Amino acid sequence: MNYAIPAPATPVIPVAGSDAFFPVRRIFCIGRNYAEHAKEMGAVADRAQPMFFCKPADAIVAGDDVDVPYPVATQDLHHEVEMVVALARGGSDIAAGQALDHVFGYGVGLDLTRRDLQAAAKAKGHPWDVAKAFDHSAPVSRLHPAAAIGHPASARLTLHVNDELRQETDIATMIFPVAAIVHELSRLWTLAPGDLIYTGTPAGVAALRPGDRFVARLGDLAALQGRIC
């Protein structure tokens, strides 16, 4: 292939128990997937219709211990700890009953948010891209293949910042569980291998500042630590 400019590198995530890397195609995110978080944002979770947004694949910052630069253009960077699902297979109109067969594996990540820009966007009825889809906005742990850990329906999802517990839930309390999210996304996009899904955050979102250390955990299945710098 004779590219007009050098082709950009494919963002990748290391795979646990292997020297392989998972290539990231797209990042889909679901909003308001835990009732208490919707409430703390002054919203009501819609149990009939999920709300989706996207981040660019190169927002990924992947590893076991990551440095995340404090983003430009905000005074209010927020953490949102989330279980992350990686797809090995794609398709459209995927039945919920078959959805988990499309999953490669699971990790834990942060849906970093420029909350002040999001509030301004909401007030004007503008899209959320400037609040959600910025550079380095998607830290994520190593991926753990479903072939090794299965498909967790229940696990404790936590975020500690500077050793203080900020967010805690069980993924069993998601309004749209993983199979439902895959089903709903596949009615809106033709999903593809390499797609990543951030499955929503529980209550307790708050500010991160330069120098903060964070540890995100999905039970004993996945962990991500890092630093805002």
Check binding of 108 to Mn ion (CB under 5 A).
no
At its nearest, how many Å lie between Mn ion and the CB of residue 69? Answer: 20
* Interface pick for Mn ion out of 201, 202, 216, 226 (rule CB under 5 A): 201
Q: Is 140 exposed, middle or buried (0-12, 13-18, 19+ CB in 10 A)?
A: buried
- The C-alpha atoms of residue 18 and residue 2 are separated, in whole angstroms, by 33
Check binding of 80 to Mn ion (CB under 5 A).
yes
Give the number of residues in contact with Mn ion, rule: CB under 5 A: 3
Q: Is 147 exposed, middle or buried (0-12, 13-18, 19+ CB in 10 A)?
A: exposed
Closer residue to Mn ion (CB): 20 or 46: 46
- The C-alpha atoms of residue 22 and residue 152 are separated, in whole angstroms, by 20
Closer residue to Mn ion (CB): 89 or 122: 122
Closer residue to Mn ion (CB): 80 or 195: 80
Closer residue to Mn ion (CB): 111 or 195: 111
Region binding Mn ion by CB under 5 A among candidate stretches 75-83, 94-102, 147-155, 181-189: 75-83
Do 152 and 221 meet the contact criterion of CB atoms below 8 Å apart?
yes
- The C-alpha atoms of residue 22 and residue 79 are separated, in whole angstroms, by 24
Closer residue to Mn ion (CB): 186 or 201: 201
Check binding of 85 to Mn ion (CB under 5 A).
no
Over the range 8-22, which residues count as b (16 or more CB within 10 Å of their CB) and which as e?
eeebebbbbeeeeeb
Region binding Mn ion by CB under 5 A among candidate stretches 58-66, 80-88, 91-99, 172-180: 80-88
Sign of CA dihedral 147, 152, 156, 162: positive
Check binding of 111 to Mn ion (CB under 5 A).
yes
| Chain positions contacting Mn ion, by CB under 5 A | 80, 111, 201
